[in-house]
Amino acid sequence: MRIQFSKMHGLGNDFMVIDLVTQRMPLHPELIRRLAHRNFGIGFDQLLIVEAPERPDVDFKYRIFNADGSEVEQCGNGVRCFARFVHERHLTKKAKIRVETNSGVVEPEINSNAWVRVNMGEPRFLPDDIPFKAEMLPNKPLPDTYPVEVLGQTVALDVVNMGNPHAVLLVDDVLKAPVEKLGPALESHERFPQRVNVGFMQIVNRGEVRLRVFERGVGETLACGTGACAAAVSGIRRGLLDPEVRVYLAGGPLLIQWQPNEVVWMTGPTATTFEGTFNPYDFYVPEQHEEQ
């Protein structure tokens, strides 16, 4: 059995993309971990799966698996690559599609230059929606940030759900930010029961920020689309940024647009690096062979 795949990236955040509309293969965390290995597998930050929709008002179902085999709700860079993939594989002729994810429906639209604009939905800030364990007083407005004790210090975190959980931390210089230490400590902090993606944001001016993201289940990546959305939304909500923000990540820029009580729009590039085939059973552990 040979399975076709594409290797793609959005600003260096890289993906293995597989069409399971016209193909079939088993999915198991161990198989995903082995495919993700950059020496013995294909290598990727996330595996993106295209499936037939389960509801009549959408075009596709979109599943995302981290390199550690865990399934997650949303991936902003991934959904742009997903849109280009289904278009180039002739799975659809539509420039604008509706895609079902574990966190709701997103609507990517392919531009003529292969950039993709995505309606990422409305951000959520209530602690239970993140989820985040917060001590809230009745009838009090949501604070801009929450103090969190980590590694012997107190940091101020804004929390945003962009289809997946994000914590945003303001820093003076993103290049000197303690991403390697604070990232994993906050990702698995007890106050985030489903773990969290951690963004370290430096504000350059009201229309530009620099950002590094330690992604849940992956580690620091070259870019994170939902992380860029969460950072921009956090700054706009707190009055630090204008409604249109260019977010500079290690892999390149994303344009984020948001007005309070409206949806977030993300625009950015995609690229296909190569295509290939593989036999899943070359990577599989026989006793764990089962379909999900």
Q: Which conformational region is residue 114 in: left (phi greater than 0), alpha (psi within -120 to 50 degrees), or beta?
A: left
75 flagged as catalytic: yes
The gap from C-alpha 139 to its chain's centroid, in whole angstroms, comes to: 32
Summarised one tens digit per residue, pLDDT across range 50-78 is 999 999 999 999 999 999 999 999 899 99
229 flagged as catalytic: no
Q: Evaluate whether 51 touches 99 at the Cβ level (below 8 Å).
A: no
Which H or E run contains 254? strand 252-257
Q: Which two tokens stand for residue 252?
A: 């390149």
Spatial separation of the C-alpha atoms in residues 93 and 245, rounded to whole Å: 31
Summarised one tens digit per residue, pLDDT across range 121-157 is 999 999 999 999 998 766 788 899 999 999 999 999 9
Q: Evaluate whether 142 touches 130 at the Cβ level (below 8 Å).
A: no
CA angle 76, 129, 36 (to 5 degrees): 40
Residue of 8, 49, 67, 75 with catalytic role: 75
pLDDT of residue 137: 63
Kindly report whether the peptide bond that precedes residue 131 is cis, defined as omega within 30 degrees of 0: yes
The residue assigned the tokens 């795949």 is: 5
Residue of 148, 160, 224, 254 with catalytic role: 224
Spatial separation of the C-alpha atoms in residues 289 and 292, rounded to whole Å: 10
Q: Which two tokens stand for residue 142?
A: 């949501």
What are the backbone angles phi and psi of residue 183, rounded to the nearest 5°? -55, -60
Domains of the chain plus CATH, in order, are: 3-115+271-288 (3.10.310.10), 127-262 (3.10.310.10)
Indicate if the pLDDT at residue 288 is higher than 50: no
Indicate if the pLDDT at residue 292 is higher than 50: no
Q: Evaluate whether 55 touches 205 at the Cβ level (below 8 Å).
A: no
pLDDT of residue 140: 80
> Where residue 289 falls among pLDDT bands split at 50, 70, 90?
very low
Determine what percent of the chain is predicted with pLDDT higher than 70. Answer: 96
Other CB atoms closer than 10 Å to residue 205's CB: what's the count? Answer: 10
Q: Which conformational region is residue 152 in: left (phi greater than 0), alpha (psi within -120 to 50 degrees), or beta?
A: left
Q: Extract the runs of DSSP E, i.e. beta strands, from 20-151.
A: 46-51, 60-66, 71-72, 99-101, 104-110, 116-119, 146-150
Q: Which two tokens stand for residue 83?
A: 């849109």
The residue assigned the tokens 């990727």 is: 44
Q: Binding-site residues for substrate, please?
A: 13, 46, 66, 76-77, 164, 197, 215-216, 225-226
pLDDT of residue 136: 73
Q: Which two tokens stand for residue 14?
A: 């890289």
Q: Binding-site residues, please?
A: 13, 46, 66, 76-77, 164, 197, 215-216, 225-226
Summarised one tens digit per residue, pLDDT across range 192-204 is 999 999 999 999 9
